[in-house]
Amino acid sequence: MRIDIITVLPELLKSPFEASILKRAIEKGLVEVHFHNLRDYTDNSYNQVDDYQFGGGAGMVMMIEPIDKCISGLKAQRNYDEIIYMTPDGKTLNQKIANSLSLLENIIILCGHYKGVDQRVRDMFITKEISIGDYVLSGGELGAAVLCDTIIRLLPGVLNDETSALTDSFQDGLLAPPVYTRPAEYKGIKVPEVLLSGNFGKIEQWREEKAQERTEKLRPDLLQ
Ligand code: ADE
């Protein structure tokens, strides 16, 4: 998979890709992530990427020209399955969206800033608009990092048995069951007996029951 991220603040975005699972996925060649600084696509001397909004009002708007240059340049080199705009008024990210995006070959992610992008960018180029939740970030970069993390960990070969995505919360529509590790007893609190029993049928059944119980208690909306 190849991910091209268009941003005015690449430095805000790079560190999540330089550690742990995402770093390893890139090193193994399972994903390529390319950052494009929008200021490199300006031709004014101030490298200006935003301007006042027509009609007046507070807040700057990202201009179409540098974004067009960047996206059109990328599209001339390969086909993109989705061109995603990170925005608080997009569709809220969930595991189902992450699963479907993880099956794609090439995607572009555009990070919004200020009051957002000129509407013509959305009309002309964007195929999907994604929010990471009902709150406003200073820019789309942190949202893009979250989106990339959810996608990349699903790519075949990224996770091993110990970190398998199949048993994650949400993957089967339920929250994950409780987990325990050594010691088997800590300050008088014991690990549930069944987990020490070695009976894998019973353990699986217990995990399913707990996943169901936990979801009913904490996230009943997931069961509707
Ligand atoms: N940009 C600003 N707020 C955002 C959000 N909640 N999700 C994605 N991008 C954003």
pLDDT of residue 169: 81
Q: Which of 224, 204, 86 is nearest to 150 (CA)?
A: 86
Calculate how far, in angstroms, residue 106's C-alpha sits from the geometric centre of ligand 1: 22
Q: Which of 128, 137, 146 to mutate to test the pocket of ligand 1 (most atoms within 8 A of CB)?
A: 137
| DSSP state letters, 22-50 | HHHHHHTTS-EEEEEEGGGG--STT---E
pLDDT of residue 65: 97
**Ligand 1 pocket member 132 (CB < 6 A):** yes
Q: Which domain holds residue 177?
A: 169-223
Q: What is the mean pLDDT of residues 199-205?
A: 98
pLDDT tens-place string over residues 143-159: 999 999 999 999 999 99
Tell me how many domains the chain contains: 2
Are residues 134 and 208 both part of a single domain?
no
**Ligand 1 pocket member 135 (CB < 6 A):** yes
Residue 159 lies in a domain: no
Q: How far apart are CA 52 and CA 121, in angstroms?
A: 16
Are residues 40 and 142 both part of a single domain?
yes
End position of a domain, from candidates 125, 152, 179: 152
Residue 182 lies in a domain: yes
The pTM of this model reads 0.94
Residue 158 lies in a domain: no
Provide the phi-psi class of 217: left if phi over 0, else alpha when psi is between -120 and 50, else beta: alpha
**Ligand 1 pocket member 136 (CB < 6 A):** yes
The answer to whether residues 211 and 177 touch, using CB atoms and an 8 Å cutoff, is yes
End position of a domain, from candidates 152, 186, 207: 152
**Ligand 1 pocket member 111 (CB < 6 A):** no
Calculate how far, in angstroms, residue 173's C-alpha sits from the geometric centre of ligand 1: 24
Q: Which of 149, 110, 114, 102 is nearest to 130 (CA)?
A: 110
